[in-house]
Structure 1
Amino acid sequence: MNRRSFLALGAKAVVGLCLAQAGPAWAKIPSSLSTKPRTLSFYHTHTQERLDITYATAKDYDMDALAKINTYLRDFRTSEVHRIDPAVLDILWKIQQKMCCNSTYEIISGYRSPKTNQQLRQKSNGVAKRSLHMKGQAIDIRITGEKTKTVRDCAISLKSGGVGYYAKSNFVHIDTGRVRTW
């Protein structure tokens, strides 16, 4: 290998490393990360409750932790608790891994009862009749210290479900439904 080939190879390696750590051209999450404990920090904007929790270790979910998350992400208007799809939590965890941040998720909405969803639909045309919030498959969030536009772009890059961007209200909707954006 001559000097020119060596330098070109070195430059490609440096660019590859930079792209792997830069947004929005995130690299794929290395499979080795799937063996790390998955921990999330939450702050609920309506109840002012906080929750720091490890919900999975290696590839196994912690059922007690999931039960605590179900209660935490309850319909805060009715106090109704519903099972939250663990895949929603995995999306949140993957976003943090891709963004290289461990900041707190600010929760705007987790589970919504059909009654709450109907009440919100009467106030706004932006609430879906068959919202995945009612199935525990959606969450509305921001990340402390991060631009919601950056969070949106990262979530879209995962191609793990629906991603809605509400710039005026400053939050991102994430769900485990079909891949789509709005």
Structure 2
Amino acid sequence: MHRRIFCITSLTTAVFAKPASISAAMLPLPGPLNARRLQLRHAASGATFSGIYHNGLRADPGALAELSEVLADTRTGETRSFDVAALDIAWEMGRRQRMAELIVLSGYRTVATNREVNGAVNSQHLRAAALDLQIPKARFGSFGEEAIELGRGGVGLYPTHGFIHLDSGPVRHWTDNGEPTPTAPMARRPPPRTAAEQRIDRIAEAWANSRQR
């Protein structure tokens, strides 16, 4: 009898315990709806990635290693741990645009490759923090506008070659001729860019031309 009373009392205490007493370690991890999934294909190497790279709280080291391989320098095969913030921007844009697969033209670049394509010395590709994505013509305008409105990192629009540059560097945007895009709100227009920064505008175009040699 005493044991039954004790059990009932213990159960009652557990049921009516204050929520504040629950340890944070006992809280469940984010479910599938919080996970971030990417499907990438590198146009130059043919390497692919398809899967979850982030569970909503932290990036998965194994998935990041695979993504770094897919986004390796295509001339040398050299890899560098790819910037999660840049991947998040690509994921967000793919989600907003409902694109099942993102086609990558350029990811990480070594110094030698960057020099070969006439890249800037401070290119975001050098720190594995930039992606040049091939965008279908019908989707190019909406993708570019939404990427600029997102307000995260750099956005370069290259409609002549059909790709858009995304990076996790300073917030800025430009077109083929290096001018701020007319669709961008005036309040978001960046200050005048230096000559070195303007060279970034030609990186993706030079890269595309080098692939045609």
Deviations 1:122-148 (A, max 9, x none): xxxxx3232110001111003468622
Question: Over alpha carbons, which structure has the higher Rg?
Answer: 2
Is 1:177 the counterpart of 2:175? The answer is: no
Check whether the contact 1:103–1:144 (CA below 8 A) recurs between aligned residues. Answer: no
Judged with a 3 Å threshold, the aligned counterparts in structure 2 of structure 1 residues 38 and 164 are, in CA distance, closer, same or farther, namely same
Which residue of 51, 54, 57 maps to 1:56?
54
How many residue pairs get aligned? The number is 145
The alignment partner of 1:107 has SS state of: strand
Give 5+ residue unaligned stretches, structure 2: 1-29, 175-213
Deviations 1:106-135 (A, max 9, x none): 0000000000000111xxxxx323211000
Task: Detail structure 1 runs of 4+ shifted over 3 Å in the superposition.
Answer: 32-35, 143-146
* Equivalent in the alignment of 2:134: 142
Is 1:71 the counterpart of 2:69? The answer is: yes
* Equivalent in the alignment of 2:158: 166
Matches within 5 A, 1:15-94: 36-94=34-92
Give 5+ residue unaligned stretches, structure 1: 1-31, 122-126
Q: Distance in 1 between matches of 2:116 and 2:103?
A: 23
Q: TM-score, normalised by structure 1?
A: 0.73
The one-letter amino acid of 1:139's match is L
Check whether the contact 1:142–1:151 (CA below 8 A) recurs between aligned residues. Answer: no
Judged with a 3 Å threshold, the aligned counterparts in structure 2 of structure 1 residues 149 and 34 are, in CA distance, closer, same or farther, namely farther
Judged with a 3 Å threshold, the aligned counterparts in structure 2 of structure 1 residues 147 and 102 are, in CA distance, closer, same or farther, namely closer
Matches within 5 A, 1:147-158: 147-158=139-150
* Equivalent in the alignment of 1:116: 113
Q: TM-score, normalised by structure 2?
A: 0.63
Deviations 1:91-110 (A, max 9, x none): 111112322x1421000000
Q: Distance in 2 between matches of 1:36 and 1:171?
A: 29
Higher relative contact order (CA 8 A, sep 6+): 1
Judged with a 3 Å threshold, the aligned counterparts in structure 2 of structure 1 residues 145 and 165 are, in CA distance, closer, same or farther, namely closer
Q: Distance in 2 between matches of 1:163 and 1:102?
A: 18
Q: Distance in 2 between matches of 1:178 and 1:110?
A: 18
* Percentage of pairs with the same residue: 32
Check whether the contact 1:103–1:143 (CA below 8 A) recurs between aligned residues. Answer: no
Q: Distance in 2 between matches of 1:145 and 1:103?
A: 16
* Equivalent in the alignment of 2:95: 97
